Amino acid sequence: MLTVDSVTKYYGKKPAVENISLSLGNGLYGLLAPNGAGKTTLIKMLTTLLKPTSGEILYCGTPIEKLGASYRELIGYLPQQFGYYRGSTPVQYLEYLAALNGMPSKGLREKIESVIGQVGLSDSKKIKMKKFSGGMLQRVGIAQAIMSDPKILILDEPTAGLDPKERVRFRNIISAMSKDRTVILSTHIVSDIESIANRVIMIKDRQIFRDSTVPELSAELEGKVFEASVPDSEYERFEREYFVLSARQEQGSMAVRFYCESPAPYRPAEPNLEDFFLVTYR
C-alpha cells in the first residue's frame, strides 16, 4: 500500500507538482497527463530519486526514505530515458541489474530467459544492444523492470517506440501483473491504459485533477459529445463554434466528432477517455 501524502516538488523556485495526495493499492494506475505536467517528477519521487520538497510518501505507513533498500527492493522501474551498455547483450545487462537489486544468483539465468521471452526478445538475446532498434531497447527496459517480480512496478512512458503488436503484448503482460501488485504507468497516450487501467490519475495545473475509473471519466462527458457530417464550406465556422475532437475528410464533407457543453442538434456519440483527455487539456 503506497500513500502519497500532500507532496509538493519544487525545482529551484519553480513548482513542478503541488499538494499531490494519492493512495495506491493493488491494481493498474494510469498516470495520464500532457507533456510537462509532472508525471516524471512524481515518478522520480516514488522511486526515491527525488526528495519531495514537502509532504511524504509512505509504504504501508512507513516513509519510504526510512525503508531505504527494503523499499527499493520492492520496486521495478522503467525510466522515461533509460541507460544501457552498448556493448553488452540483454542477458548481460539484466544480470548486471539483478546484482544491483540483490537478486539471488540461484535461478537467475532461468528468470532472465523467461522475462526476455515475455517481451519477445528470445531471438536477440545474444546480440549486443547497440544493434537494437528503439522498440527492442524499450522492451529490454520493460524486461528489467519486471525481472525481479516487483511488488510495485513503475513505468514512465513504457510504450514509446513500440509497434501495435508489441503494445498489445505489453498490455497483456502488465494487465496480468497488476492483479496482485501495484502498477503505475505514466503516459500521454490514452489507448495505452484505456482498456486496462483500474484507475486513471490525471494531473492538471500541477495538481491531481482526477483519480477515478475510465467509465466514470467517460460518463462525465455523457451527452456532451456529438458526431456530425459537416460540408467542407461550413467546416471553418463549425470549428470556431465547437471543440472538435476529431475530423475525418470524406467526399465533399467532414465527418466530425466534437464536444459541446449544452445539448446540440446533432447525433450524440459515446464519449471515451480520449475525449475526456482532450477536453480536460483543451
Partner 1 sequence: MKIFFNEAKKLFRPIIIILLAVFIFIHCKGFLKLNYWPQVGTGNPWDTEVHAEMIEKFGPTLSRDELPALKEFYGALVADFEEEIRKSEVFARNGIDDYEKFCEADNEFLFKDGLTDGEQEIYNELIRYRFDLMPASELHFKLNELENRLLNEIEIGRIFATDETIVTMRDYLDRQNPEAAALLEKKYRADEMSLLTITPQSVVDGDSLNLVIISCIAVFAAVLYMLITDRLRGIYPIALSSKTGRKIFGIQAAVCGLFGLLAGIIVCAVYGAALMSKGAGVFLDCPMDNYYHDMWVKLDYRQYILIKAAAVVIFTGAAGLLSYIIGRFATNYISGLAVSIPVLVALCGAEFFATAHIFRVESAWVYSHFWSSVALPFAITLPICIGVTVAVCLILKRDGKRDIL
Which residues lie near ligand ATP (CB under 6 A)?
11, 16, 33, 35-41, 80, 188
Give, as one character, the DSSP assignment of residue 130.
Answer: G
**Cβ-based neighbours of 221, under 8 Å, separated by 6 or more:** 259, 271, 275, 276, 279
Q: Which stretch binds partner 1 (CB under 8 A): 17-25, 73-81, 170-178, 194-202?
A: 73-81
Nearer to ligand ATP, 161 or 223 (CB): 161
Q: How far is the CB of 192 from ligand ATP (least distance, A)?
A: 13
Selected binder of partner 1 within 83, 164, 215, 252 (CB under 8 A): 83
Using CB under 8 A as the binding rule, whether residue 79 contacts partner 1 is answered as yes
Q: Return the residue nearest ligand ATP (CB atom).
A: 40
Selected binder of Mg ion within 53, 80, 191, 253 (CB under 5 A): 80
Q: What SS3 state is found at 75?
A: strand
Q: Which stretch binds partner 1 (CB under 8 A): 16-24, 66-74, 166-174, 223-231?
A: 66-74
Using CB under 5 A as the binding rule, whether residue 188 contacts Mg ion is answered as no
Q: What SS3 state is found at 234?
A: helix
Selected binder of partner 1 within 28, 38, 44, 230 (CB under 8 A): 44
Nearer to ligand ATP, 256 or 273 (CB): 273
Give buried/exposed letters for 67-91 (b at 16+ CB in 10 A, else e): beeebbebbbbbbeeeebeeeebbe
Give, as one character, the DSSP assignment of residue 259.
Answer: E
Nearer to partner 1, 67 or 247 (CB): 67
Using CB under 8 A as the binding rule, whether residue 99 contacts partner 1 is answered as yes
Nearer to Mg ion, 40 or 144 (CB): 40
45: enclosing H helix or E strand? helix 39-46
Selected binder of partner 1 within 1, 51, 54, 216 (CB under 8 A): 51
Q: How many CB atoms lie within 10 A of CB 249?
A: 10
Cell numbers describing residue 51 = 526528495
The number of helices, as runs of H, and strands, as runs of E, in the chain is 11, 14
